[in-house]
Chain A
Amino acid sequence: MADYKELVLTASGVNPLKCMRCGKCSGTCPSYDAMEYHPHQFVYMVEKGDIEKLMESKSIYTCLSCFACVERCPRDVEPAKLVEAVRLAVIRQQGKNHLKSEQIPDMVDEELPQQAIVSAFRKYSK
């Protein structure tokens, strides 16, 4: 079995041991209500090596990359980078893209900016 913890730590460059469990990342997260696991849980679950649960959760697709948790963490843990690294551990696998091009036509409307599609593809597909 792949050592997902090592993979996630290397890709993210994050040291979860710096976390002092204040919960500010989750308190400020705009996607909090839509997440099964919240930013502070990503931090301690990665620390414990509990990565598979995160990989299977829809939470990895609800991070907005708004950098609120990165900016407001008093310990500079950068939880968003852990979410990104866990998501990459999934979508880098063959056939594991979360967004497929054939889904796009049904999602667009007249005003939708290209930026939305480009960003979603970068986040959800390889």
Chain B
Amino acid sequence: MTYSYFPGCTLKTKAKDLDRYARISAEALGFTLEEIPDWQCCGGVYPMAKNEIATKLSSIRALANARDKEQTLVTLCSACHNVLKQVNHDMQTDEDIVRKANNYLKLDTPYQGEAQVLHYLEVLRDIVGFDTLKSKVTNPLKGKKIAAYYGCLLLRPGKIMQMDNPENPTILEDFIRAIGATPVIYPMRNECCGGYLTLDEKSVAESRSNKVMTSAADMGADMVITACPLCLYNLRKNSGVSDLPVIYFTEILAQALGLE
């Protein structure tokens, strides 16, 4: 199976590990991530206003490209995933945005939200299947207590992202079980890390990240995993908790598959 793949800006720069381990793991699991040619940055945050059109166009170009190739569009970065799914939802439901965006783009076939967007984790759960993943694990991470950090962008708004229960998610914990480790459930796993406020109001990023990391540590985690480069940065750099490693979920996936 081949998927259209939208890596996003950070996976080409500071988050190369998130990308690299995902690609080699995909091959080992029998699917290929085919990078969209000439993709443009999604902007990192979904433009919420109804009269924002230009800021949604880069996402629509990627979505239309996947539609034209009749491929499902796969994302890895939580932010890209959030932006692409929410813009796609606009293109399925908001006639005014559809009309204005298509007036700008002048595509051969106007885009109306036909593409399907999946996060890599959804491919693992819904296409590969966690049972199959489990059977391909050669290096089970037995005894490792791993805290899944969802943050905000993977799950919310739940009715648009449709990835998991936004208040009591299980996809990452099921992933952790599939690779042979033990999931640690902790209260702050789907609360915000402070995001881009690390630039404008660092104290917010510091206090939020600290709450997340302290919560995971209190529940006995050996390690925290995430799908988001900005979460990884905040949890490592702004939390004040340095003895709890934070890594991308794709890195432990590759480890479990014996690829690292």
Contact = CB atoms under 8 A, between A and B. Distances in A.
Interface of A: 10-13, 30-31, 33-34, 61-62, 64-68, 70-71, 80-81, 84-85, 88, 98-99, 107, 109, 111-120, 122-124
B1 to A, nearest CB: 28
A64 to B, nearest CB: 5
Mostly helix, strand, loop or mixed at chain A's interface?
A: helix
Interface stretch (B7-15, B110-118, B249-257): B7-15
23 contacts: A10-B50, A34-B197, A62-B201, A64-B194, A67-B152, A70-B156, A71-B157, A71-B167, A80-B48, A88-B49, A98-B200, A111-B236, A113-B229, A115-B9, A115-B15, A115-B228, A115-B230, A116-B195, A116-B230, A117-B196, A117-B199, A118-B44, A120-B196
A68 B192 contact: yes
A107 B196 CA distance: 11
A99 B13 CA distance: 22
Which of A11, A84, A88, A119 counts the most chain B CB atoms within 10 A?
A119
A104 to B, nearest CB: 8
A99 B200 contact: yes
Interface string B228-241: 11101100110000
B9 A65 contact: no
